[in-house]
Structure 1
Amino acid sequence: MEDAASGKPALEVTRSPAPSRQTNYALGVLFVVTMLNFLDRQIISIVAEPIKQDLGLTDTQLGLMTGLSFAIFYTTLAIPVAALADRWNRSRIIAIAIATWSAMTVACGLSANFIQLFLARVGVGIGEAGSAPASHSLIADLFPPDRRSGALGILGMSVPIGAFLAYAGGGWITENLDWRSAFLIAGLPGIIIAIVIWFTVPDPRGKIPLSAAFKAKPNEITFKDAFKELSSKPAYWHLVAAGVLVQFVSYGLASFYGGLFVRVHGIGYGELGWKLGVMVGLSGGFGAWFGGKIGDILGKGNPRLPLLLSGLMLVIAAPGMIWAIYADNVNVAIALLAFPTFGATFYYGPSFAAIQALANDRTRAMAVAIYLLVAGLIGLGIGPVFVGGLSDYFAGGDKLLEASALQKALAILALFNIWAGFHYWRAEANIKR
Structure 2
Amino acid sequence: MASIAAPVPSLGRVAWPLGVLALGMAAGFAAMGSFGTVQESAKAELLLSDRTLGLVQGVAAAVPLALFSVPVGIMVDRWNRVRLFLALAMLWTLGTLLTAYAPDAASLFVARMMTGTGATGALTAALSLAADLCQPAQRGRAMLVVTLGKTLGMAAGFGLVGTMFGGLGDGIFGLPAWRGVHVALAAILALCLLPLLTLREPARREVATQNALLGIVARELWTRRGFLAPLFLGQVSVVMADNSALIWAAPVLGRHYGLGPDQFAGWMGALIFGTGLGGAILGGLAADWGQRSGRRGGVLRGALIAAAIGAPAALFPVAGSVPLFAVAMGVLVLCGTVTGLITSVALTVLIPNEARGLCIGLFIAVAGVIGFGIAPSMVAWVSGMMGGEGHLAPALAIVGVVTGVIAVVAFALAIRNAPAAPVR
Match for 2:404 among 393, 397, 417? Answer: 417
Q: Secondary structure at the match of 2:417?
A: helix
Aligned partner of 2:137 among 134, 142, 146: 146
Alignment pair present for 1:366 and 2:364: no
- CA displacement at 1:129 relative to structure 2: 4.6
CA distance in 2 between partners of 1:117 and 1:172 (Å): 22
User: Where in structure 2 are the equivalents of 1:58-77 lying within 5 Å?
Assistant: 58-77=49-68
Deviation of the 1:263 alpha carbon: 0.4
Q: Which amino acid in structure 1 is aligned with residue 41 of structure 2?
A: P
Alignment of 1:36-55 (within 5 A): 36-55=27-46
State the distance in 1 between where 2:231 and 2:26 align: 23
Measured in 1, the distance between the counterparts of 2:111 and 2:416 equals 42
2:172 corresponds in structure 1 to none
Name 1:212's counterpart in structure 2: none
Structure 1 residues 171, 85: CA separation in 2 closer, same or farther (over 3 Å shift)? same
For 2:199, the equivalent position in structure 1 comes to 201
Corresponding residue of 2:234? 242
Equivalences for residues 72-151 of structure 1 within 5 A: 72-151=63-142
Ranges in structure 1 where 5+ consecutive residues have no aligned partner = 7-15, 207-217, 397-401
How much has 1:302 moved relative to structure 2? 3.2
Identity of aligned residues (%): 24
Match of residue 178 from structure 2: 179
Worse-superposed segment, 167-176 or 378-387: 167-176
1:274 corresponds to which letter in structure 2? G
How far does residue 408 in structure 1 lie from its aligned partner after superposition? 2.0
CA distance in 1, matches of 2:117, 2:339: 25
Q: Does the CA-based 8 Å contact 1:133-1:366 persist in structure 2? A: no
Contact 2:127 2:146 in 1 (8 A): no
8 Å Cα contact 1:244/1:375 also seen in 2 = yes
Deviations 1:356-388 (A, max 9, x none): 122212112111111111112111221111112
Task: Give the Cα separation in 1 of the matches to 2:284 and 2:50.
Answer: 36
CA positional deviation for 1:66: 0.5
Q: Deviations over 1:111-154 (max 9, x none)?
A: 11111101111221332353122111111211100001111122
Unmatched segments (≥5 aa) in structure 2: 3-7, 169-176
User: Is contact 1:37–1:98 with CA below 8 Å preserved after alignment?
Assistant: yes
Q: Does 1:56 align with 2:47?
A: yes
- In the aligned structure 1, how far is the partner of 2:353 from the partner of 2:311? 36
Letter in 2 for 1:319: P
Q: Look up the match of 1:9.
A: none
Shift of 1:52: 1.4
Residue of structure 1 equivalent to 2:5: none
TM-superposed deviation, 1:432: 6.4
RMSD: 2.0
1:312 alignment counterpart: 305
Checking the alignment, whether the CA contact within 8 Å between 1:284 and 1:345 is kept in structure 2 is: yes
Aligned length: 400
Q: Is the 8 A contact 2:245 2:396 kept in 1?
A: yes
The answer for the alignment partner of 1:352 in structure 2 is: 344
Shift of 1:161: 1.4
How far, CA to CA, are the matches of 1:225 and 1:185 in structure 2?
46
TM-score, structure 2 as length reference:
0.89
Identify the match of residue 375 of structure 1 among 356, 367, 389: 367
